Chains A and B, each alone.
Chain A
């Protein structure tokens, strides 16, 4: 069911539905569990579902752009850190030397991570950079 403002904060209204990236629920992530060694950073990462729920809540609160950002974020959850940093780097001015390089990055994210809205976003950047002459060498 689509989340609304009444569902917020999720950690208070429905803690049992919240789990980290590796599937551990909020209530099992305790200090004791951490000391025992059964909690690691992966358990403390947000899962795409939570971001999608937050996107629905943001949409319900008339914050459509914030909702879109959460949707894009949901797609990036499974993208490895290095690839995220490389993509960010590629989007900075003068890094990519051609539109194709950026389009290829978008394709990779679309096909290998199902990141469609992120891919659309990067393709839009490629088109705009082309138009504004950003694919040129910067000293």
Chain B
């Protein structure tokens, strides 16, 4: 005897879903697994004594750790704190979502709020309220986006091509890193050149070891830095080999070299590094963010970042990522809002994660959208990657939301890639760093990822990088090489990015470059105050966003139908005999065809020739010794009414309604329009054998017998999305031919080369 099954098969099915590769953690505040609150979180509080902070969130001054000290001395504004801390968190929370309370008013209050108070306030908002508040509180008006440009081989040719591609798609910043750290200089040079192809103004960073990164910036290759991490507990900070003062010093050092900088912090880093003090993720993050404002950095890369996957395992974790981003912008920091490390294997969770940022905008929606394939992403796969880029473009179109990207045609992309590869090759040759072959170049231009390339070996790349470093090459050498080899526009573009340093305009909060102008929170401030204010899609920008590829219109449908017209003309002719009347033949089945059938439309949506469809139906009816009469109706194109009208004049009382797109029905005189005998609604999967079955069954009904209904098997495919646009357009062509008072016509069809 078989053992009694102990599983419901539904669960076995769920086990196979990608979601089940995600592992979830139980809430456990003592061990750091708590998103919004933990018993160890302090109550908000601030003690002041003649302008000096003497207690912060329950900790007395003599017990302050480094982070408390830094926040007390550099973040808290004692002239605002008493007023701000006196406002109940619930009131502040309401102010955040109140469109009548301007951003500046809340930013001013934030200067006097402690980490625990900030955390307590945003905790009161649900996810939608956080998203709304974020839309209002983010610093710059126009949203932006950032790309990762890396590859598994650290191949400079591919980096140049992919940088140019990322620029074309509209990314405001591109970030690279290496598989092998010594390749940093080669990566930097390649991305700088590639990023100068097509247009100027894309900022670039090369994420590497702190000191090396600054040197690469000094050589003029990179224009910003963001991997300056801060942490919410003292022990984590020290294990991260820094202190708030060392990082603050680095912030000043970057600015002193005219290089834009933001810090990085995100929930979960303390948990991953083992020193969370049993505090909630949000409270620790509030400390990090106060610290960053205190250090005087213009912005933050925030929202979990490397800790986003662990944060997403706890209840409310994804909402927490949104909440910490809200604190960041409330503190008036530019926010590169995570949506970076891939937090899940579930595409549904991916789509849900991005939605609030896509719709509400962010200074940089992703702090690393993988513009390259997942396996080429040296930071690890992002929430969105090259594989899913078109999904993102369509989401922009669906919601008429500016996600910072613009569709690019394949030919334009190919041209830019070729240009970037040639430009970099010219630089490599001119500076005697390498001589790429035509085959190497061609393989990179058409490559989707590094698996497809035949380019530099790891050893050659390391040699290039080492030579750039030891010879002390700078961006000036690269610009000269580009100009000398005729890449004058690229040379100009690259020089313009380096020239940004002189004024330092792009060091201000949330700065990026659009159309050759620096836009930041100063000259493009977010002025959201409800509908009609804040960022809105312009007509031009909307046009860019909706212009995705392979969009169907009626002209295209008619054109593709036109291709079949000649073919069908060789197979079938439709001859109009006379006005159709009530049939007297009891063996007759009437086939009612639609206005455009065989005149404008020649194939069903499944791709069957209409001549074949008719032939199957006719021959099946004939096989039963019954007769078929074809009648074209011109007063309707509706399947039910075609069928009912056909039945109405059929001698047997049985009729078939057949639309040109292939939707069909078997109907009977006297029935209600939608109470048919059999309906074939899934034209895209209806095969010729089903049309034959339809003729067969219509004949059996006409004899007064009861057949087995024809079943068109389907597996729940989302066919609507594949066919609806075309179907609706075909139907519109049919309805366009309707003449209300036109009588039905008896039609003779003459098949060529086949006998029915």
Contacts and interface: CB of A to CB of B under 8 A. Distances in A.
Given A26-B503, A65-B74, A9 B523 contact: yes
Contacts of B66: 128, 132
A53 B507 CA distance: 12
B505 A44 contact: no
Contact of B296 (A31, A46, A66): A66
B581 interface: no
B121 interface: no
Contacts of A92: 241-243, 246
A85 interface: yes
A46 B502 contact: yes
A75 to B, nearest CB: 8
Given A66-B296, A79-B256, A93-B243, A46 B501 contact: yes
Interface residues of B, number: 72
A132 B234 contact: yes
B75 A70 contact: no
A63 B510 CA distance: 13
B474 interface: yes
Contact of B480 (A18, A35, A63, A122): A35
Given A77-B256, A93-B243, A12 B474 contact: no
Interface string B61-92: 00001100110011101000000000000000
Given A29-B502, A132-B65, A134-B238, A8 B252 contact: no
Contact of B476 (A19, A41, A89, A118): A41
A62 interface: yes
Interface residues of A, number: 66
A31 B252 contact: no
A67 B483 CA distance: 38
B502 A19 contact: yes
A39 B498 CA distance: 12
A57 B211 CA distance: 29
B295 A69 contact: yes
B246 A8 contact: no
Interface in A88-102: 88-89, 91-94
Contact of B502 (A26, A30, A131): A26
Interface in A2-52: 5, 8-12, 15, 18-20, 26, 29-31, 34-35, 39-41, 44-47, 50-51
A64 to B, nearest CB: 8
A65 B256 contact: no
A90 B257 CA distance: 20
A64 B234 CA distance: 25
B117 interface: no
B210 interface: yes
Interface string B318-343: 00000000000000100000000000
Nearest to B70: A128
Interface string B469-490: 0000011100110011000100
A84 B253 contact: yes
Given A124-B245, A125-B245, A11 B502 contact: yes
A85 B476 contact: no
Q: What DSSP secondary structure best describes chain B's contact surface?
A: helix
Given A9-B518, A63-B509, A92-B243, A29 B504 contact: no
B107 to A, nearest CB: 7
B502 A34 contact: no
Nearest to B493: A31
Contact of A93 (B242, B483, B500, B505): B242
B501 A45 contact: yes
Given A9-B517, A85-B211, A129 B243 contact: yes
A41 B219 contact: yes
B253 A10 contact: no
A66 B509 contact: yes
The residue among A5, A66, A89, A131 with the most chain B CB atoms within 10 A of its own CB is A66
A54 to B, nearest CB: 5
Nearest to B107: A62
A41 B473 CA distance: 10
B243 A34 contact: no
A44 B738 CA distance: 71
B611 to A, nearest CB: 66
Contacts of A91: 243, 245-246, 249
A103 interface: no
B748 to A, nearest CB: 77
B250 A70 contact: no
A108 B492 CA distance: 40
A70 B491 CA distance: 30
A48 B69 CA distance: 29
A67 B522 CA distance: 13
A11 B503 contact: yes
B220 interface: yes
A41 B479 contact: no
B220 A44 contact: yes
B253 A34 contact: no
A73 B502 contact: no
Contacts of B242: 92-93
B498 A11 contact: no
A122 B249 contact: yes
Interface string B167-195: 00000000000000000000000000000
Contacts of B294: 65
A87 B296 contact: no
B508 interface: yes
A41 B220 contact: yes
Interface string B203-237: 00000001100110011100000000000001001
B297 interface: yes
A130 to B, nearest CB: 11
Contacts of B241: 92-93
Contacts of B479: 31, 34
Nearest to A69: B296
A61 B522 contact: yes
Nearest to B484: A35
A63 B332 contact: yes
B249 A128 contact: no
Interface in B242-300: 242-243, 245-246, 248-258, 293-298
B172 to A, nearest CB: 16
B622 interface: no
Nearest to B518: A9
A10 B505 contact: yes
A106 B399 CA distance: 54
B43 interface: no
Contacts of A77: 256
B22 interface: no
A107 interface: no
Which of B104, B251, B255 has the most chain A CB atoms inside 10 A of its CB? B255
B671 interface: no
5 contacts: A73-B256, A75-B252, A88-B249, A93-B242, A121-B252
Given A26-B503, A81-B214, A134-B243, 14 more contacts: A11-B502, A15-B503, A26-B499, A53-B504, A54-B507, A61-B508, A65-B294, A65-B296, A66-B508, A69-B248, A69-B255, A70-B296, A77-B256, A121-B252
Interface of B: 65-66, 69-70, 73-75, 77, 104, 107-108, 210-211, 214-215, 218-220, 234, 237-238, 241-243, 245-246, 248-258, 293-298, 332, 474-476, 479-480, 483-484, 488, 491-492, 495, 498-505, 507-509, 517-518, 520-523
Nearest 6 pairs of A and B residues by beta carbon: A69-B296, A73-B255, A46-B258, A125-B245, A76-B256, A91-B246
